[in-house]
């Protein structure tokens, strides 16, 4: 396997490992929520009973000389419990979107690195305008100078937006007009921009408790997009997943035949 295929393999495995964390978080939330509601309701019920009967607190939580009624305490108990559950669900959804977008961004940048490794010629139009001093030209070969300029370009791209990275992947990989490796999936640049706007609001506008009505569909879309851009690189350069490396098995000897999986339409169309 080539070094580019090693990075190709590692990128996809990292995506799956990280995506499992998102799934685990959401599955744990869904499984634990009924028990959490019961526990929180009991906790706040005890706290309100204490506040209503303790001599120090009953002066505050009372109506005139009368302590809070059981009905009022129950209403407050339900309101607090519901607020906590609502905020927790919103936080899990917000965290999922932020983490998912970060995972996709990592995939896009890593696949750009793969493209540069396997075919640096494709990057020459991106670095043609870069200035190189005469000493560097005298002391280094063209391929070494080009490699340095490409590395600098990749470092710059790492700080660019997700959309910028994917746009460049399309430019480098040049998929055919009818390219559709995943069933029921259509690449939608505007949708990714909208999801990224949601992510930006979560982080920079403290919108952690803002409901995200399309979170499940958006997460599925982000996941399929990660597979889609992997397919872009596969169809352009013919790179394959090294299943031994993917499963972290011992590197085979030259006499052994490693089990390899070509990631093309038959694999990712099952999503």
When mean pLDDT is compared across 66-70, 244-248, 256-260, the lowest value belongs to 256-260
* pLDDT band at residue 100 using 50, 70 and 90 as cut-offs: very high
Identify the domain containing residue 127 by its residue range. 3-268
- 59 pLDDT more than 70: no
Helix axes 215-237, 70-118, angle to 10 degrees: 10
What's the number of domains the chain is made of?
Answer: 1
Rounded-to-integer distance, Cα 76 and Cα 240, Å: 59
Rounded-to-integer distance, Cα 161 and Cα 165, Å: 7
Specify the DSSP class assigned to residue 252. P
**Exposure string (b/e) for 187-205, b if CB count within 10 Å is 16 or more?**
beeebbeebbebbebbeee
Rounded-to-integer distance, Cα 226 and Cα 107, Å: 7
> Cβ–Cβ contacts within 10 Å for residue 252, how many?
13
Phi then psi for residue 166, to 5 deg, are -70, -40
Query: Is pLDDT larger for residue 52 or for residue 264?
Result: 52
Pairing of strands 260-261, 241-242: antiparallel
CA-angle at 32, arms to 29 and 33, nearest 5°: 80
Kindly state the percentage of the chain with pLDDT values over 70. 81
Please write the tens of the pLDDT for every residue from 178-236: 888 888 789 999 999 999 998 888 888 776 777 788 899 999 999 999 999 999 999 99
6 Cβ contact list (under 8 Å, min separation 6):
242, 245
* pLDDT band at residue 126 using 50, 70 and 90 as cut-offs: confident
Rounded-to-integer distance, Cα 230 and Cα 268, Å: 9
When mean pLDDT is compared across 84-93, 142-151, 166-175, 219-228, the lowest value belongs to 142-151
Query: Is pLDDT larger for residue 61 or for residue 124?
Result: 124
> Cβ–Cβ contacts within 10 Å for residue 156, how many?
10
Please write the tens of the pLDDT for every residue from 156-183: 999 999 999 999 999 999 888 888 888 8
Q: What pLDDT score was predicted for residue 184?
A: 79
Check if the beta carbon of residue 48 is closer than 8 Å to that of residue 68.
yes
């Amino acid at each position: 396997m080539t070094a580019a295929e090693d990075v190709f393999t590692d990128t996809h495995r990292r995506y799956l490992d990280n995506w499992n964390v998102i799934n685990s978080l959401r599955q744990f939330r869904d499984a634990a929520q009924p028990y959490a509601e019961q526990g929180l309701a009991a906790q706040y019920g005890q706290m309100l009973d204490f506040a209503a009967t303790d001599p120090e607190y009953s002066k505050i939580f009372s109506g005139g000389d009368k302590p809070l009624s059981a009905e009022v305490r129950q209403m407050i108990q339900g309101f607090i419990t519901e607020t906590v559950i609502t905020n927790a669900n919103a936080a899990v959804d917000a965290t999922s979107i932020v983490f998912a977008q970060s995972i996709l961004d990592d995939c896009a940048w890593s696949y750009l690195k793969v493209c540069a490794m396997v075919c640096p010629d494709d990057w020459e139009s991106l670095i043609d305008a870069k200035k190189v001093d005469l000493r560097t030209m005298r002391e280094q070969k063209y391929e070494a100078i080009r490699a340095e300029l490409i590395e600098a370009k990749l470092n710059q791209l790492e700080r660019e937006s997700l959309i910028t990275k994917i746009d460049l992947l399309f430019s480098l990989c040049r998929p055919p007009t009818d390219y559709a490796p995943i069933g029921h999936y259509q690449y939608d640049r505007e949708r990714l921009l909208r999801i990224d706007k949601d992510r930006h609001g979560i982080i920079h506008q403290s919108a952690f408790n803002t409901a995200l009505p399309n979170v499940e569909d958006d997460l599925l879309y982000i996941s399929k997009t990660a597979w889609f851009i992997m397919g872009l690189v596969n169809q352009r350069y013919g790179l394959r997943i090294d299943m031994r490396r993917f499963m972290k098995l011992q590197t085979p000897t030259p006499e052994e035949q490693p089990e390899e999986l070509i990631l093309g339409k038959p694999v990712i169309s099952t999503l």
